[in-house]
Structure 1
């Protein structure tokens, strides 16, 4: 008798997980339709996130055991999260596992979910991804309460990753976690955190106006939405006065306090792990957040005093010196050339990155190259602003405008696929040609090139001269991430 043995279902791979995750992105047409409707995020964003949480087998109260530091802001929130994580990691005996959730990623989506500073492995990412995916696929929500959560539907890209991060950190037994808000705060999917151990707000500015509002007051209101009852909140000094006033009002509403953190004197004596003089502000905020977190967890007896000349614990200083954060004021030596990378893509971040590059170039006599792209914001305005911060101290001999497409084949690295830009504009190099025309008005002495992809741009730059070059890369984290992927050859 012949016995048929059923074939085992093919095991899911990391590429399967990435393809499934990418299917959750909002495409360009949908984003434009939502913007034209004038509808902004509302309270349903949080209630739906709570419902997704229920469907994967948790309550939001389960996340309290992660002892979360929750960080928002317009500029510097990612760097602040990295500094905070690095300080906490100095307390390995008490905190053997620390989680870090940030966005966006540079080279691989696994960078968004880190344990002890390292991106989740492909194996664990795939395992936890499909645990979440399958739980959501097998459960449902009452349509009278959640009409958008129809059978078979999934949360969006960022919401899914947020759920995945909570699940991962709980399964891995993390003792503390640092969470960077995606956008805003009040309606951000990370804001289902009920009881963080500390909240932080980095420098405020005007960005994501469609979702957060057009004024600094509206933006501050959204950012202050992460404040929780009796949970100390901290912010940087030199906040816009109107924004700081709103943060203080939000703190009062939530029965807590918000403290302005000075730039600590001792930071002048060390070299921070992330370059740029402006990082002292973010590092100081990280000191306050880590100090409060460690005190809340009874690892420290009392928090660091928030005065400029306070003596900081050596572990704090070591953590700040050891911080690694790719794509932010990062220097890469490749062959004869030196690449200066920053994913700056807003007016405030362009100012910070341009100032850093200008200061580094003070003693360099090498030819200068600019590699730039910004596909979705007002790119022309950004290059004018950038040039205003570096000219006449720095002059670019060559300027290249590229798309964020990774490879010369016209394909993206799987982790860098983006559906939220207009494909026709990318294919036709519409933004890049506009930037080239605009730069010619700024500086008609530069040699200007338009490149269809990042690999092509790198080859172009490396063929410009037999001598060494200084190359400034900015305008987009997607550009910087794609560049590092090509450098890796993967």
Structure 2
């Protein structure tokens, strides 16, 4: 890794350097062949401690951020969004909450979305500044060659993509004076890069499921062990009801005792008023909202907010600010509906980044419900736009989607499998570049053809097609609309990957680099 030169360095320079830290496809495949390695996970986490030391921080320094740490298989990012929105209602000159930081992943359109302050991604100027603060500091400091031989030479070796952004987020929040920081775990929990947090205010776990089996194991017990790794001694833990995997509760209780948490609460969505409105669509959001209510209340109680001004769980009563926070929560790419985009006036886009079996089930159910309740959709053309480039269970996701739709009265008229390449030139937007896929497989549409074959077996009446890039699909849709009668509308369900969702949003907004 060559050091950056001394010329003025802006946001595009930062994104280019950041993209150079993505692990390449060949490395990932070689690692998979080695099999799961706890030792490698331990080494990886030790690296985060070492890099933060070289930045001048100790883990206990981050306690001043009053961290809320959240993991889970599905809903963890949405829980963080609800929590942020609730706490933001307590900001202001007389409010107990100051600056709120939020670290989440992945991003949709811009990498800046991963590091937010007071609900907004940090701007390009600040992103570049803090990115190169970290870059330059790590280029000019040393790690012990005996203890960290794989980090040599220190002026060249940098953390991998997610790890770098995690470390950078701590630096941003400390520098910007954040006094409440919400952290979404990347993968798992025990060995995740975010798990250098020393003493958070509270830890939370959303719904659990079978995912990332290469790293976390293929049983609910092994996955629960990893997720509960964020539990800390003397810190309260709050966990969603585990509807899909109720057996996980006993594992969670065992780990809570082992990790010596101060308290463990299992949260039911029944703590919310029956008809509580939420800013995010989908019945399943009630569970995420309930978890967020508990997390936010614990933070506010520690700030001295009187108990009579906090939620009354027994009577399912929420203070006005909690109600407002839940209603105002926004999170693009999750159960998002977009209508009347210029040039696409007759298309309604139903967008969800579902990419696990559990999330695919709920997203598909949400789409089917929208078809039943949002408008008279019986005569509308229905299109599925799908991709999942990285996961070995991409076919299983597709089967789950088909099963849910088959149980409804709706069918797709057209099914299209695209890559995540953004533009017809074969380029990605810089913020959307993914080096974790095989370029050869993408160019030859290997995954797309495989998925099309699976769908054709599931639905022999529906011929699936493939596309080389997102713009091609959207242009095809536009031309298709023009061939229809004026009365016809089109409903497009976009799912399978947050990378696909981000690309679609960029194309719809015509945000070419």
Q: Give the TM-score range, shorter chain.
A: over 0.9
Structure 1 position 249 matched with structure 2 position 254: yes
- How far residue 305 of structure 1 moved from its aligned partner, in angstroms, is 6.3
Write the deviation string for residues 37-63 of structure 1: whole angstroms up to 9, x where unpaired: 114343222222111001011111110
- How far residue 204 of structure 1 moved from its aligned partner, in angstroms, is 0.5
| Residue in structure 2 matched with residue 395 of structure 1 by the alignment | 411
Call closer, same or farther: CA 1:352–1:143 in 2, change over 3 Å: same
Structure 2 residue matching 1:271: 3-state secondary structure: coil
Match runs of 1:32-431 below 5 Å: 32-40=29-37, 41-93=40-92, 94-151=96-153, 152-239=156-243, 240-256=245-261, 257-264=263-270, 266-301=272-307, 307=313, 309-333=315-339, 334=341, 335-362=345-372, 363-365=376-378, 366-377=380-391, 378-391=393-406, 392-431=408-447
Write the deviation string for residues 61-99 of structure 1: whole angstroms up to 9, x where unpaired: 110000110000001001001000111111113223100
Distance 1:179 1:380 in 2: 31
- Indicate if the aligned counterparts of 2:337 and 2:348 stay in contact, CA closer than 8 A: yes
Call closer, same or farther: CA 1:300–1:104 in 2, change over 3 Å: farther
Distance 1:458 1:267 in 2: 41
- Indicate if the aligned counterparts of 1:267 and 1:280 stay in contact, CA closer than 8 A: no
- Indicate if the aligned counterparts of 2:301 and 2:307 stay in contact, CA closer than 8 A: yes
- Comparing 21-30 with 140-149, which one deviates more in the overlay? 140-149
Distance 1:156 1:42 in 2: 13
- Indicate if the aligned counterparts of 1:262 and 1:306 stay in contact, CA closer than 8 A: no
Distance 1:14 1:206 in 2: 37
Call closer, same or farther: CA 1:302–1:145 in 2, change over 3 Å: farther
- How far residue 301 of structure 1 moved from its aligned partner, in angstroms, is 4.2
Distance 2:258 2:312 in 1: 23
Distance 2:305 2:207 in 1: 28
Write the deviation string for residues 326-351 of structure 1: whole angstroms up to 9, x where unpaired: 00000001311100000001100100
- Comparing 151-160 with 438-447, which one deviates more in the overlay? 438-447
- How far residue 265 of structure 1 moved from its aligned partner, in angstroms, is 5.3
Structure 1 residue matching 2:349: 3-state secondary structure: strand
- Indicate if the aligned counterparts of 1:295 and 1:303 stay in contact, CA closer than 8 A: no
Distance 2:437 2:58 in 1: 35
- How far residue 10 of structure 1 moved from its aligned partner, in angstroms, is 2.2
- Comparing 331-340 with 360-369, which one deviates more in the overlay? 360-369
State the TM-score, normalized to the length of structure 2.
0.91
Distance 1:306 1:102 in 2: 29
| Residue in structure 2 matched with residue 5 of structure 1 by the alignment | none
- How far residue 300 of structure 1 moved from its aligned partner, in angstroms, is 4.4
Distance 1:254 1:297 in 2: 25
- Indicate if the aligned counterparts of 1:295 and 1:302 stay in contact, CA closer than 8 A: no
Distance 1:358 1:39 in 2: 38
Between the two proteins, the alignment pairs up a number of residues equal to 483
* RMSD of aligned Cα (Å): 1.6
- Indicate if the aligned counterparts of 2:109 and 2:502 stay in contact, CA closer than 8 A: yes
| Residue in structure 1 matched with residue 11 of structure 2 by the alignment | 14
| Residue in structure 2 matched with residue 3 of structure 1 by the alignment | none
Structure 1 residue matching 2:239: 3-state secondary structure: strand
- Indicate if the aligned counterparts of 2:25 and 2:438 stay in contact, CA closer than 8 A: yes
- Comparing 471-480 with 248-257, which one deviates more in the overlay? 248-257
Write the deviation string for residues 15-36 of structure 1: whole angstroms up to 9, x where unpaired: 1100100111110000011110
Structure 2: runs of 5 or more not aligned: none
Structure 1 residue matching 2:274: 3-state secondary structure: helix
Distance 2:308 2:446 in 1: 56
- How far residue 306 of structure 1 moved from its aligned partner, in angstroms, is 7.6
Distance 2:62 2:41 in 1: 23
Distance 2:36 2:309 in 1: 42
- How far residue 376 of structure 1 moved from its aligned partner, in angstroms, is 1.6
Structure 1 residue matching 2:107: 3-state secondary structure: coil
Call closer, same or farther: CA 1:414–1:308 in 2, change over 3 Å: farther
Structure 1 position 441 matched with structure 2 position 457: yes
State the TM-score, normalized to the length of structure 1.
0.96
